[in-house]
Amino acid sequence: MKIGMIGLGIMGKPMAKNMLKGGYTDLLVSDLNQAAVEEVVACGARRADNREIGETCEVVMTMLPNSPHVRAVMLGEGGVSAYMKEGQVFIDMSSINPVASKEIAAELAKKGVEMLDAPVSGGEPKAVDGTLSFMVGGKQEVFDRFKPLLETMGASVVRCGEVGAGNTTKLANQIIVACNIQAVAEAFTMAQKAGVDPQLVFDAIRGGLAGSTVMDAKGPMMIAGDDRPGFKIDLHIKDLNNALDCAHSVGAPLPMTAQVQEVLQWMHSREGGQKDHSAIAQYYEFLTDMKIGR
């Protein structure tokens, strides 16, 4: 199977490497960052442009920042879809607005090209070790055909419905993650202000109902003051903007999401947008003039 992969950023690069490790060695790659391209090429992939990817690949995959980037790469002037034909498949692993996913799918359908929207959760660590969670929208038969390919990059690959369902599920995921991170930061702040070591609080509650994958991953980072990005605040802002836009279009109330978005925006305005989203804790450190766990 010849595969085209466009987007070799913090997530896309290790995902491409895992496809190669999984036996999908006929892989063409493209990215504006030529250093990233060279790194994946050194692992066995081959560099290609939009034309070659569109004309020769059975499946075209993207891992890009947001809806406008996916539109431009696929539907813009000189975009990949201009060279695609009936029977090819597009899998978008980006996290974008589900409305945009449906619109892109509708344009591709005019050429007989099927689409899956397949955003992921897990951040860079799980992208590296190949244990991402895929949330997929699209036809069952297309999903079944490409599920083994996605499983080279993920430990969980679940079809959530038709095109758009994958990104709707991802937005739900991002709401839960963001609100959970903020709750952990608030809880640790309260504990420390009350004279209790946040590390001991973490150790005591992680096995109970309050325990979560989010707390296990982000709690130690808050306590250590480690804000190196596994998933950047600016990317989470993008996801929550998409969630709020989607919610407004369908009439769903998201007051908690709007509140945590304000905290993330505060971090962005203080040059914190490139930090890990666990750096939400720094908002509380600013308010209390203390360092959590330190």
Three-state DSSP class for residue 123: helix
In a shared domain, residues 134 and 219: no
- Indicate whether 3 pLDDT > 90: yes
Classify residue 105: in a domain, yes or no.
yes
Residue with tokens 């950047």: 232
Distance of alpha carbon 131 from alpha carbon 128, whole angstroms: 8
Q: What is the pTM of this model?
A: 0.89
Read off the pLDDT of each residue in 149-162 and give the average, rounded to a whole number.
98
Q: For residue range 174-204, what is the model confidence (pLDDT) as tens digits?
A: 999 999 999 999 999 999 999 999 999 999 9
In a shared domain, residues 136 and 201: no
CA 52 → CA 19, 92, 197, 247, 272, distances in Å? Answer: 19, 18, 57, 38, 39
Contact at 8 Å (CB) between 7 and 64? yes
β-pairing, 120-121 with 114-117? unpaired
In a shared domain, residues 201 and 267: yes
- pLDDT above 90 covers what percent of the chain? 95
In the chain, the number of structural domains is 2
| Tokens, residue 62 | 């993207």
In a shared domain, residues 201 and 58: no
State which residues form the domain around 188. Answer: 168-288
**Which CATH number covers residue 14?**
3.40.50.720
**Alpha helices per DSSP H over 151-232:** 165-193, 198-205, 213-224
> At 83, phi and psi to the nearest 5?
-110, 0
pLDDT recorded at residue 124: 87
pLDDT recorded at residue 87: 97
> At 185, phi and psi to the nearest 5?
-60, -45
**Which CATH number covers residue 203?**
1.10.1040.10
In a shared domain, residues 15 and 151: yes
Q: For residue range 65-94, what is the model confidence (pLDDT) as tens digits?
A: 999 999 999 999 999 999 999 999 999 999
**Residues catalogued as catalytic:** 170
User: What is the pLDDT confidence band of residue 277, given thresholds at 50, 70 and 90?
Assistant: very high
In a shared domain, residues 36 and 145: yes
pLDDT recorded at residue 231: 87
